[in-house]
Amino acid sequence: MEHVTTLPQRPLTVADLELMPDDGHRYELVDGTLIVSPSPSVRHQRVHARLMKLLLEACPPDLEVFSAPLDVVLADDTSVQPDILVVRSGLPGPKVTEPPELAVEIVSPSSRLVDLNLKRARYERARVPSYWVVDPDEASLVAFELRGGAYAEVARVSGGEAWQAKVPFPVTVAIDRLET
């Protein structure tokens, strides 16, 4: 007999999220709303692996680069798992409990609206200094940096273009090199 999880009829909390089954799905919580994502595609994973390598090679010793699944608890009602994140070195505990220096989401058709709207707004409210959205289908990257409490678009690159990031550390991202 299968186990059925019944959700309470109220906004969810991180404590509720911890009761979700370990069933291979990615469970996130944004402002009390549960978001369930399927496993990523091969294309998503290819871009993810290449971007991880690039960030790991450029990362200074006072920062660390991590990959999902890793819970980032931004509030009692918000726990997200950015595809890639950069945090200060040596954070204690099994979860990240302070805003990362960089959150990267690699969009898929099923996550596009959540990543570009809901998560972007939540990262902004949590004061995450830098947020990147990578779209493998469009071979593009859009980068936002926190300026005066709001995100400002600082880069939009696609195809054969490259971008020199300064935050959270200097690194050059060439979009076409993430896919080949």
Question: Are residues 30 and 38 in contact, defined by beta-carbon separation less than 8 angstroms?
Answer: no
> Model-level pTM greater than 0.85?
yes
Mean pLDDT of 126-145: 96
pLDDT band at 2, cuts 50/70/90?
Answer: low
Question: Are residues 165 and 174 in contact, defined by beta-carbon separation less than 8 angstroms?
Answer: no
Least confident of 11-15, 19-23, 125-129: 19-23
Look up residue 147 and give its two tokens: 């300026």
What is the pLDDT at residue 1?
42
CA–CA gap between residue 52 and residue 48 (Å, rounded): 6
- Domains of the chain and CATH, by start: 39-69+81-179 (3.90.1570.10)
Tell me the pLDDT tens digit for each residue of 87-112: 999 988 899 999 999 999 999 888 88
